[in-house]
Structure 1
Amino acid sequence: MGSPGLMNRNNGQRLGITEPISLGGPTEYDVIKTRELEKYLQDAGLYENQAEAVSREEVLGRLDQIVKIWVKTISRSKGLNDQLVQEANAKIFTFGSYRLGVHGPGADIDTLCVGPRHATREDDFFGELYRMLFDMPEVTELHPVPDAHVPVMGFKFSGVSIDLLYAKLSLWVIPEDLDISQDSILQNADEQTVRSLNGCRVTDQILRLVPNIQNFRTTLRCMRLWAKCRGVYSNVSGFLGGINWALLVARICQLYPNALPNMLVSRFFRVYTQWRWPNPVMLCAIKEGSLGLQAWDPRRNPKDRFHLMPIITPAYPCMNSSYNVSSSTLRIMSEEFQRGCDICEAMEISKADWDTLFETYPFFEAYKNYLQIDVTAESADDLRKWKGWVESRLRQLTLKIERHTYNKLQCHPHPGGFSDRSRAFHCCYFMGLRRKQGVPVNEGEQFDITLTVEEFKQNVNMYSLWKHGMEIRVSHVKRRNIPNFVFPGGIRPSSPSKVTWDSRRSVELKVSGRAQDSGEGKIVSNGSDNERKRARVDDSFETNLGNAKRLALPPSIGEVHQGSPPLSTVSASSIKGDDVDMHRLEESWGEKYENNIPDSLRNVKNLVEVSSQNVEANGSVECNPHNKTQAAATVDSTSSGEAEKLAIEKITSGPYLSHQAYSEELDELENDFEYGDQDKGIKGNIKGGPVESSSANAAVAVQVTSSNGSTSSGGLYSNGNLEELEVLFANFVTFCCFHGCVYCVLLVDPYFYFVHTCCLSILEMGETCSLNA
């Protein structure tokens, strides 16, 4: 491991927080495959023509003139003297894909307006500037979102889509040569301004931290296209957005500074297949800064310990850009990384090509059960606002289902909506549902998520701009009943999609006798991943998820071997519904209760130990004697494969600097708890807590079946009190068993106060255990 601030030897400077994995240059094979990739991206229409590029520049220039007029207007209206009015200025900056140079035809331009201290966000930006834009004929689809996490005003200017943010600086006059990369620019800035500025600051920092910008851009274009084809490009859905993919690609460029895009794509999948989440991806060391702004740091910020896939921004204050990722979406992306790795290895021996890598994910063939979320309104403007709100909340539905079923029912949200042209002002979204692999199947039992859906709908209907006619409907549909309008041309395929990489691999493995019958694998159709790969990815994912959840628990419970759902959320009948005999529980706690343990509590033995288990990445390829270029690549791969594998393992499984001293930090946190004081007044009977599912309320009872017709188990609910809990931070509850008794519960709530409570004994005699923490 290198020291912070390494890499780029070409400039006498090295970029990144570790040494590069390889400084090797491209082979002839890499040059050929990179040319093929560039042609593929060109043919896919990812590059805009010269006329469109000129049009974008003109629009940005016009927008810059408008904000300069706007700031002088409000300066005059606020009574500033003539000199200040004359000097009043505002500037437009770009960020995101446009600033990175990877935007395509018709893409939005992410822009930032920087204004002086007297130009307010609420009254001036969303007030006066909004009115100016509204009155301009070239501005259409004007849509302000002032209450967003990052307030934004979206519109089209002469047909070019613009997302405009605002940052109010503490300066009376904005200089024309303003450098927003300096940390001092954040002095006295409010939270919305810091978030808005960070878009530009992060983008510029990424370009400074990659060794070769052109190779970075080509690789990023490739990964963005791949992510969209495979359905994992959507920050709002819990996958990764543009900035996340840029950071992941930039890290690979640092690790292979002299590689061409072909090798960078291959190593992208190889590295992130082995990555031990929640080990964070960072382009540089996290800066403390002098302004006291809160940066991502799980040692000090309890909420940061809940992040499953940390991808840290490089500009101060460093933040996790991927906090939206859930356990379901992380599992899906892990599967896709493994698939990409397999295909890249096959490409090296001419058993696959670029078309194979970019095969579209057959979402509506992959599952037997789906949730359909229909959104309707009474006008086009109302629908645009309403569906934007609903789409931003859909991730909460995924998290609620995960929490309320203890990860037994897994969700796969489709990134993006569909419109039924036969219905006015309508849009709908879909989620694929499947039973988690390994969950026992009990005949006749279902996942009843009615209350979960109702809770989600109630939260959505609290929209502050709600109008009459804005409605949402959630229903469970089988694959055979998926509406035709979701398919290309509105025509349902008469048979499954063409033979794909996944279906071919599945057949090959079955023929070779290597496929595993997991039960869950049979749920998915021909378009799904093969069983062997899913089993391997799920094993890796469970280890990674266990590592993430361990970071949320104090070291005092690091040796707890088993967990269970909170007693306040599980009734006796629902436990029995999972085939657990309450009278024999004390005889075989680990065996009988294993299936009711939330996935978040598995593997909680060692607090800061990171598993050394890695998904094997084969560094060698077979040699084709008829292809000299390929043979050269094979020889090189064989000679350096093992060394590279070890280097990847070292980087991906060891904690970075920000994760060191977890043990000491958590020990200090634990010492702050006064368990004795917490004991007073909290013992008592909690039998009245559970809310059992009502059989009459079964509008969204999902029966997930395997191919043999047997049904999966489920039906666990949380009670109404959990409505107050933020879904982002799930409850982590750990039980320790002492003579068959639930000894104590440590509950971490979303406000991060540790509440220590004593529960009833679950022994037949019903004694209450004493608290001896």
Structure 2
Amino acid sequence: MGSPVLSNRSNAQPRLGITEPISLGGPTDYDVIKTRELEKYLQDAGLYESQEEAVSREEVLGRLDQVVKIWAKAISRAKGLSEQLVQEANAKIFTFGSYRLGVHGPGADIDTLCVGPRHASREEDFFGELHNMLSEMPEVTELHPVPDAYVPVMRFKFNGVSIDLLYAKLSLWVVPEDLDISQDSILQNADEQTVRSLNGCRVTDQILRLVPNIQNFRTTLRCMRFWAKRRGVYSNVSGFLGGINWALLVARICQLFPNALPSMLVSRFFRVYNQWRWPNPVMLCAIEEGSLGLQVWDPRKYPKDRYHLMPIITPAYPCMNSSYNVSLSTLRIMSDEFRRGSEICEAMEINKADWDTLFEPYPFFEAYKNYLQIDISAENAEDLRKWKGWVESRLRQLTLKIERHTYGMLQCHPHPADFPDKSRPFHCSYFMGLQRKQGVPANEGEQFDIRLTVDEFKHSVNVYNLWKPGMEIRVSHVKRRNLPTFVFPGGARPSRPTKVMWDSKRTSELKVSGQSLEISHESRAVGSGTDDENKRKRADDDLDDNLRSSKSPASLPSSIREFHDDRTISTASSCSIKHDDSETNVIEGQKSEKSDLNFPEEIFSEKSEINGSGRGNVQVNPILATSDMSNSKEAENLAIEKIMSGPYNAHQTFPEEPDELEDDLEYRNQVKGDGGDGKSSSLETLNLKAVVATDPVISNEEMIHLTHLRSGGGLEELEPAEVTAPLVSGTPAPVPQKKPLIRFNFTSLAKAADKST
């Protein structure tokens, strides 16, 4: 018979996707009502542009298309082509991204692609002649070419509309006006930069072809983009997901529920991805090898693809993983957000929550006790803009390095936005929340040592090829109560929370259709009342009073000490983290009292609870329930389980990070060598891959054990020590005694490793 959720497909509606839909059921009255509410909510939130702005964008695109056509004829004549070829010479503008998908908002950039003939080069003609033409036009402002980027781009404003313009050089003498770039043959004899540039348009168009209802897809995607930005998980460069990633995730849900309205699609989005067992890939269509020999994503063939933690595969040839930036930290955070969204959607179905609840902003500066503050500054606005772009591309490396060097026991939550300090010109700050990994034991007084990690990060930033005097970076630790006021709305520290958030007002038991849904008490979000604030401050003060020195590395087991000595190059600078045994956390779904630190659930458990128990336990909605099992949540869970048993499941078994911490490809041509400005040091020769891969003491299996222990433990507390001392040689620098250390809990680590074996 098969799963009751899966029904026979209608001959009039071809199947989209690599599996059967989960449900072909149409909308209920409830779905219609909630969809109208959602559309009004998005409209009131200002997510739709005005008719005047839409007309203005179309005019700009038409004008830009005229400009590139004139450019194509001009360069053809300059290269001595025949007059006939000059008259036939053509270039064409395509759009992609949010504008092409129809989900852009007011003031959004337009991603555009200029397709030109084979004799129009990228360097000389596109970044040369076309750049000069645009610079002479009064309606073009803020023109900024980035020819060395992973995907070369020219950025500018045209009549106030922001444009990102890519270039693709085809192997055609004449570009036809009716060119179809979705055909794989368009990639014939194309260079790598052209393939990357074409990829955006090809993927966007393929997404629109692979969704059953474009309007429902657009409304749902607009909703999910808004939600992701409010919850702080919309940023590809920070290791979360960008626009194309969210589009692919939403498109897959539309395939699985082809007749659902947006309100149901939003609910099913959270239900499906809350239960998804990453790193099973999300794919809209089968991966084709193609006939051009281009590499496609395949963990069975390419070992590097096995390290991808959250594969979201693009549907156009060559199929690639669009979310390779995701790290253990960011995946854990997004998984926690999917769980929260699923719970809220279920509460909405019984009128215990509303759309406001779902879109509550994530209270980042209330969620942690400890933060890293990364301050950057420059001499002028233009230098700061370039410096920010470079530093942002490196911040993900700081997250990876911290987790690698602490064996995944110190976890980071990067905030995707920067915060300008209006009292200081040409200055802004980035922040990362810090917490100890859930389930890792700790002894009172023991600390992490991340000084080397921070020094490595600062070094990798300071080798910027376009560095200028005044470009500075400073990394320091700050406790929650000492956060600078410019991070808060209005520049004033709130005396108390203004509203009770979803996570803090949930009860321990939510009645759903006569059954109980267990929800752990978590103070990840804002609590309420001044009493909580006073208790929190007293707890922080107690941590300061009880600071103890850490144990000497000399007393550690030799296997751990050897690895520590091998990678500790310098002791310059300091940041410290310390734990408090008075606080506990939640392990594997057990309820426990917690502090205002967040301890997300481990996402790489070997137990997969998606068939009506654990995290996958979802109840029947009384409003939607009927005698027809097609609406059964249990049956949907079984269908999701079936979907995730695809051909790549057995090959995706690597929860750890790859041995090497890769540089951001977009800026790989902007890193300096050893000479020049004196900013290089012996740290530049540090090869973490060699340290980890060749160390005879720590095996991969041991690394996994060390990273994924599930014992009980406490919290860590950072001491406010600024990390500023530079590395000037390969010898260890003395540690300033006036600043406390961050020392890693090696003794507890060794004991935990012994227990795990």
Structure 1 residue 76, shift from structure 2 partner? 2.3
Match of 1:270 in 2: 271
Distance in 2 (CA, whole Å) between partners of 1:165 and 1:52 is: 23
Distance 2:122 2:690 in 1: 28
Q: Do residues 650 (structure 1) and 651 (structure 2) align?
A: no
Cα pair distance change 1:728/1:476, threshold 3 Å: farther
Report the equivalent of 1:306. Answer: 307
- Report if aligned partners of 1:233, 1:239 keep a CA contact under 8 Å in 2: yes
CA 418–633 in structure 1, closer or farther in 2 if over 3 Å, else same: same
* Cα distance, 1:147–1:261 mapped onto 2, change above 3 Å: same
How far is 1:79 from its partner? 2.4
1:346 maps to what in 2?
347
Structure 2 match to 1:400: 401
Go from structure 1 to structure 2 and tell me whether the alpha carbon gap of 1:261 and 1:514 turns closer, same or farther (over 3 Å shift): closer
Residue in 2 aligned with 1:26? Answer: 27
Name the residue aligned to 2:632: 640
Instruction: Tell me how far 1:468 sits from its aligned partner.
Output: 1.8
My pick for the range that moved more, 228-237 or 148-157, is 148-157
Structure 2 residue aligned with 1:120: 121
For residues 158-202 of structure 1, the C-alpha deviation after alignment (integer angstroms, 9 at most, x for no partner) is 111111111111111111111000000001111111111010000
Alignment partners' CA distance in 2, 1:138 and 1:432: 43
In the TM superposition, residue 477 of structure 1 has moved relative to its aligned partner by 1.0
Question: How do 1:199-598 and structure 2 match up within 5 A?
Answer: 199-505=200-506, 526=527, 569-571=563-565
CA distance in 2, matches of 1:470, 1:126: 27
1:78-227 correspondence runs (5 A): 78-227=79-228
Deviations 1:207-228 (A, max 9, x none): 0000111111111111011101
Q: SS where residue 570 of structure 1 aligns?
A: helix
1:723 matched residue in structure 2 = 687
**In 2, Cα distance between the equivalents of 1:497 and 1:365?**
12
Secondary structure of residue in 1 paired with 2:285: coil
> For each residue in 1:83-127, what CA deviation from the matched residue of structure 2 results, as whole angstroms up to 9, or x when unmatched?
222222111100001000111111111101111112111222122
Shift of 1:141: 1.8
Q: Distance in 2 between matches of 1:278 and 1:344?
A: 24
CA distance, structure 1, for counterparts of residue 693 and residue 335 of structure 2: 21
Q: CA deviation at 1:75?
A: 2.1
- Mapped partners of 2:259, 2:695: distance in 1: 45
How big is the shift at 1:77?
A: 2.3
1:36 corresponds to: 37
Secondary structure, counterpart of 1:119 in structure 2: coil
Alignment coverage as a number of residue pairs: 605
Alignment-mate amino acid for residue 193 of structure 1: T
| Distance of aligned partners of 1:736 and 1:634 in 2 relative to their CA distance in 1, 3 Å threshold | closer
Conserved? CA contact 1:484–1:490, under 8 Å = yes
1:734 aligns with 2:699: yes
Q: What is the rounded CA distance, in whole Å, between the counterparts of 2:520 and 2:694 in structure 1?
A: 32
CA distance in structure 2 between the partners assigned to 1:237 and 1:515 by the alignment: 29
Which structure has the higher relative contact order (CA within 8 Å, separation 6+)?
2
Using the TM superposition, give the Cα deviation of residue 492 of structure 1 relative to its aligned residue in structure 2, in angstroms: 1.3
TM-score normalized by the length of structure 2? 0.74
- The amino acid of 2:110's aligned partner reads I
Q: Distance in 1 between matches of 2:370 and 2:74?
A: 57
One-letter amino acid of the counterpart of residue 486, structure 2: F
CA contact (8 A) 1:362 1:497 kept: no
Is the contact between residue 504 and residue 523 of structure 2 (CA under 8 Å) also seen in structure 1? no
Query: What one-letter code is carried by the residue in structure 2 that aligns with 1:280?
Result: P
Alignment gaps of 5+ in structure 1: 528-563, 580-598, 624-629, 664-717, 738-773
Match of 2:14 in 1: 13
2:72 paired residue number: 71
Shift of 1:328: 0.1
- Gap change, CA 1:151 and 1:572, over 3 Å in 2: closer
The 1-side partners of 2:567 and 2:73 are apart by 69
Q: 2:665 — aligned with what?
A: none
1:74 CA displacement: 2.1
The alignment's TM-score, normalised by the length of structure 1, stands at: 0.73
Decide whether the 8 Å contact of 1:568 with 1:719 is kept in 2: no
SS of the counterpart of 2:420? coil
Amino acid at match of 2:319: C
* Aligned-partner SS, 2:687: helix
Q: 1:201 to 1:473 in 2, by over 3 A?
A: same
Alpha-carbon offset, residue 572 of structure 1: 10
Which has the larger displacement, 391-400 or 196-205? Answer: 391-400
Greater mean deviation of Cα atoms: 633-642 or 189-198: 633-642
The 2-side partners of 1:145 and 1:57 are apart by 25
Distance, in Å, in 2 between the alignment partners of 1:729 and 1:312 is: 29
The letter for the 2-side match of 1:657 is: P
Query: How far 1:82 moved relative to its partner?
Result: 2.1
* Structure 2 Cα separation of the partners of residues 573 and 484 of structure 1: 37
Matches within 5 A, 1:604-623: 615-621=614-620, 623=622
Work out the CA distance in 2 between the residues paired with 1:727 and 1:195. Answer: 33
Residues 617 and 166 (structure 1), Cα distance of their counterparts in 2 relative to 1, 3 Å cut: same
- Do the aligned partners of 1:116 and 1:171 also contact (CA within 8 Å) in 2? yes
Query: Structure 1: how far apart are the matches of 2:191 and 2:608?
Result: 37
CA distance in 1, matches of 2:145, 2:609: 47
- Give 1:662 shift: 8.3
- Deviations 1:39-85, CA, capped at 9 Å, x for gaps: 11111111111000000000101111111122222222222232222
Change beyond 3 A, Cα 1:397–1:255: same
User: Does the aligned pair in 2 maintain the 1:370–1:477 contact within 8 Å?
Assistant: yes
Report the identity percentage.
75
